[in-house]
Amino acid sequence: QVQLVESGGGLVQPGGSLKLSCAASGSIFNINAMGWYRQAPGKQRELVAKITSTGSVNYADYVEGRFTISRDNAKNTVYLQMSSLKPEDTAVYYCNAVIRRSALSPLREYWGQGTQVTVSS
């Protein structure tokens, strides 16, 4: 009943920029938080950034000011603006959302299908 659709991935050169987006749709009462995780080959999935419904943000240390997460609550959409990209940023990026589907429902976690980001010359 809830679907997360990601877009914006692709191939960029080192030092380039890319903007990812993720839109949540379906039966949604409230989105508590949305965020981005990534997983490189042979590595575990790790947090990139997350943002709550009130605007509080949390970034991984390796972001080092290069990424910016934002959210459009009216559109149930989260964005990740990535700049100064490095080859080590290459990974599949996954959208994550914590959603309450009704006033009486508990919070549940949902994942997008993932979008490939490749940083290479």
- Which pLDDT band, with edges at 50, 70 and 90, does 76 fall under? very high
- Which pLDDT band, with edges at 50, 70 and 90, does 97 fall under? very high
pLDDT at 64: 84
How would you write the chain as a 3-class SS string?
CEEEEEECCEEECCCCCEEEEEEEEECCCEEEEEEEEEECCCCCCEEEEEEECCCCEEECHHHCCCEEEEEEHHHCEEEEEECCCCHHHCEEEEEEEEEECCCCCCEEEEECCCEEEEECC
pLDDT at 1: 83
CA distance 102 to 74: 17
Is 17's pLDDT higher than 90? Answer: yes
Q: What is the mean pLDDT of residues 90-113?
A: 97
Is 44's pLDDT higher than 90? Answer: yes
